[in-house]
Amino acid sequence: MAASKKAVLGPLVGAVDQGTSSTRFLVFNSKTAELLSHHQVEIKQEFPREGWVEQDPKEILHSVYECIEKTCEKLGQLNIDISNIKAIGVSNQRETTVVWDKITGEPLYNAVVWLDLRTQSTVESLSKRIPGNNNFVKSKTGLPLSTYFSAVKLRWLLDNVRKVQKAVEEKRALFGTIDSWLIWSLTGGVNGGVHCTDVTNASRTMLFNIHSLEWDKQLCEFFGIPMEILPNVRSSSEIYGLMKAGALEGVPISGCLGDQSAALVGQMCFQIGQAKNTYGTGCFLLCNTGHKCVFSDHGLLTTVAYKLGRDKPVYYALEGSVAIAGAVIRWLRDNLGIIKTSEEIEKLAKEVGTSYGCYFVPAFSGLYAPYWEPSARGIICGLTQFTNKCHIAFAALEAVCFQTREILDAMNRDCGIPLSHLQVDGGMTSNKILMQLQADILYIPVVKPSMPETTALGAAMAAGAAEGVGVWSLEPEDLSAVTMERFEPQINAEESEIRYSTWKKAVMKSMGWVTTQSPESGIP
pLDDT tens digits for range 166-209: 999 999 999 999 999 999 999 999 999 999 999 999 999 999 99
pLDDT (average), residues 335-347: 86
Residue 3 pLDDT: 46
Looking up residue 331, the CATH number of its domain turns out to be 3.30.420.40
Range of the domain at 260: 10-265
Residues 104 and 186 in one domain: yes
Pairing label, strands 446-449, 422-425:
parallel
% the chain with pLDDT above 70: 96
Is residue 204 included in any domain, yes or no?
yes
Residues 255 and 351 in one domain: no
Residue 519 pLDDT: 46
Number of H helices, E strands in the chain: 16, 23
Residues 104 and 222 in one domain: yes
Residue 143 pLDDT: 93
Return the DSSP state at 518: P
Residues 111 and 22 in one domain: yes
Residue 150 pLDDT: 96
Residue 518 pLDDT: 47
Residues 393 and 502 in one domain: yes
- At residue 424, does pLDDT exceed 90? yes
In whole angstroms, what is the distance from residue 131 CA to residue 482 CA? 48
Domain count, the chain: 2
In whole angstroms, what is the distance from residue 364 CA to residue 314 CA? 34
- The number of beta carbons lying within 10 Å of the beta carbon of residue 247 is 17
Residues 407 and 329 in one domain: yes
Among 249, 265, 281, which residue terminates a domain?
A: 265
In whole angstroms, what is the distance from residue 434 CA to residue 442 CA? 12
Residues 148 and 229 in one domain: yes
Residues 229 and 329 in one domain: no
Residues 240 and 336 in one domain: no
- At residue 348, does pLDDT exceed 90? no
Residues 72 and 139 in one domain: yes
Is residue 245 included in any domain, yes or no?
yes
User: Across the strands, what pairs with 448?
Assistant: 485
Residues 40 and 181 in one domain: yes
Is residue 105 included in any domain, yes or no?
yes
479, burial (CB in 10 Å: exposed 0-12, middle 13-18, buried 19+): middle
In whole angstroms, what is the distance from residue 357 CA to residue 397 CA? 14
Residue 257 pLDDT: 97
The CA–CA distances, whole Å, from 159 to 46, 85, 214, 266, 474 equal 21, 44, 25, 39, 45
Is residue 272 included in any domain, yes or no?
no
Is residue 358 included in any domain, yes or no?
yes
Write the pLDDT tens digit of every residue in 61-98.
999 999 999 999 999 999 999 999 999 999 999 999 99
pTM (2 d.p.): 0.89
Residues 240 and 151 in one domain: yes
Write the pLDDT tens digit of every residue in 214-242.
999 999 999 999 999 999 999 999 999 99
Is residue 299 included in any domain, yes or no?
no
Amino acid (1-letter code) at residue 357 = G
Is residue 220 included in any domain, yes or no?
yes
